[in-house]
Chains A and B, each alone.
Chain A
Amino acid sequence: MDRRKIDVVLATISIVVSVIILTNDSLVEGGVETELGSLFLPRIVAGLMIVFSAAMAIPSLLGLLRQAEQTDEEAISTTGFSGVFIYIGIFITYWLVVPYVGFLVATPFVMFSIAALLGGRKWLPIVLMSVITPLMVFYGSLHFLRVFLPTWTLS
């Protein structure tokens, strides 16, 4: 993947967002009047973001237009990205499921899935780890930290 293309897209998004912040007053609601106002600093920062985004994107854009050869720094290797997407998918599912089935039920499946994703094939120790760790974390949090991790709410 060519980082220069991402630079240009990222800078464009950043500049558009900054322009919206600079021009739109409805991004702030309520508050008292002060010398500076609530949007003074955000607008200064938005102005700076335009400058820095442009400073980042212009060399990349020039490189693309001149069809200059990619440097090592500008090449993003996509090897192994499928695993990253699977991991994020597991995490999002975990977030959605935990409020209903609880931490103690959902966590072993998540740990097992991640261990399998990482290439773990020693099933017995992985299963033991997946069951014991959530138990320790759940009761440790409950008794030592007074943190009540989500429990089963399906019934």
Chain B
Amino acid sequence: MLENILNGFSAIFAIGPILGIIAGVIVGITFGAIPGISAIMAIAIILPLTFYVDPIIGITMLLAVYKSGIYGGSISAILINTPGAAASFLTAKDGHALTKAGKSGKALDISLFSSVSGEMLATLVLILVAAPISAISLQAGPIEKVFVLLFAFTVIATMAGGSISRGLLSCTLGMMFAMVGLSTITGASRFTFGVTELMSGFTFTPMLIGVLVMPEVLNVIRRRKQTQGSMTITRSSNPADNRISLKEFKAVIGTILKSSGIGTFIGALPGLGSSTAAFMAYGEARRVSKKPDEYGKGSVEGIAAAESANNAVCGSSLIPMLTLSIPGDDVAALLMGAFLIHGLTPGPMIFFEHTETIYAIFAGFLITDLFLLAIAKSGFRFFVKLASLSRYYIFPCVTIFAFTGAFTAGQNMNDILILICFTVLGYGMRLVGLNPAIFIIGFILTPYLEQNLDQAIAIVGTDYHLFFASPFAWVFILLSVFFVSSNIWMKRRRQQPQSPSSLQEAKT
């Protein structure tokens, strides 16, 4: 493994990949810092640009956009109290309180250092853990893979979002759309209604941009009459307020490590995501803190906990995707699509079929943190200025990038029609509480499910009990039952009215 890692580093230290990482970091921070543009949106817009470059450059660039986009979200959270994602909500609480006290430099610094620390730790875990897990998952045949995929569908659909039925309906809708076109197993055309353009199914990139990116633009259009907050870095006359000192960093290093561990663990579990990680790490840090009262009112420790956990999810969410072909969250689903477009099929075989590429991507993922640290630290003012541009400059450009990105996939205008149709569908899904990210996960995983199901049926014939003969199958059945039942239990618990004693406790 060490040799592979070293080979990976030697492949990444070339002009192309390094320029890709730098571009990815700049784009990621900028897009992440713009309120209304999330990391996932940035990746979807940049994705078509990577079609024409080597996978090492393209994928590392996308991963750089991902990492720095997640970090960039904390800039708007701290400066204008607008968290780009739910995961930055806690950062906004403490960070904006510091900004109001004239200590935005301190908040931005601790957010950057904790983000980078969390990401690095999770990336190291990814590098060290992914290959051994993939060696185990290689033992899985088609029957076991069917159960793994059913586990993925069930867990992701039930864990994400507010309603289990809506999550599962989003997933089945995605599965249904994935089955339009020629069946890869039988060669039959399904649900094409004689339209030849539908024979190849829905083109992934325009669909992705339509479902995930364009509804965000529509949201901004809808809120166009609301005033836009302007970002400024408040400066205190006391230099110590504008930066984080070594002593202050040392005081929170324990919190950062612990929160990074929580983030890494949560990220490796499919469906939980960065918000859960941030909330858990924040709660734990507050529980053991010597100054719990400061939390929510400008606590440096609070920012460190939330940001390190939130960013640690970036690396570890790739573990289930790369080892079991299960995208743990929406960004992982998007990245899985990017891997597929670049001819790399995520799953255990990737470590054996594309050893050099995957370790180069890992190396790139790791050194992205260093570039993020250097670029963000030296360019806070620049990024803040860029992200402060009025939305009437930003969103016309986003529209044109989305148009070009959708066109780039197949260089035909039908893809733009797909973009428009899925924009309307994606926006409609959001309005009625369906989850577009789960829709995409259902869309991506269905061909694998169908292929493995077909092979599994061919293996078992009419002896259907053989489906349950493998311990692997039972493990995933039990895991599915556990995740679903625990989620239902947690939701019921949340809905239960609080007892008078607990209300009294809360008041005191």
Contact = CB atoms under 8 A, between A and B. Distances in A.
Interface of A: 3, 6-7, 10, 14, 27-42, 45-46, 48-49, 52-53, 55-56, 73, 76, 79-81, 83-84, 86-88, 91-92, 94-95, 98-99, 107, 110-112, 114-120, 125-126, 129-130, 133-134, 137, 141, 144-150
Given A81-B222, A119-B224, A110 B399 contact: yes
A118 B165 contact: no
Closest 9 CB pairs of A and B: A31-B188, A120-B392, A31-B186, A80-B222, A55-B165, A118-B392, A111-B396, A38-B188, A52-B169
B218 interface: yes
B172 A80 contact: no
B397 A111 contact: yes
Interface residues of B, number: 63
Interface of B is mostly: helix
Contacts, number: 182
Interface stretch (B65-73, B267-275, B408-416): B408-416
A129 B221 contact: no
B173 interface: yes
B487 interface: no
Nearest to B191: A27
13 contacts: A27-B190, A41-B446, A42-B176, A42-B191, A48-B172, A52-B169, A56-B165, A86-B221, A91-B423, A118-B220, A120-B390, A146-B52, A147-B411
B387 interface: no
Given A38-B186, A88-B424, A73 B433 contact: yes
Interface stretch (B103-111, B284-292, B449-457): B449-457
Given A30-B189, A84-B222, A49 B399 contact: no
Interface in B205-253: 217-218, 220-225
A88 to B, nearest CB: 7
Interface string B42-75: 0000000101100000000000000000000000
Contacts of A134: 400
A111 B433 contact: no
B224 A28 contact: no
Contacts of A80: 221-225
B7 interface: no
A114 B222 contact: no
Point out which of B222, B449, B457 has the most chain A C-beta atoms below 10 A from its C-beta: B222
B456 to A, nearest CB: 10
Nearest to A113: B396
A80 B218 CA distance: 10
B422 interface: no
B365 to A, nearest CB: 24
A48 B454 CA distance: 19
A91 B399 contact: yes
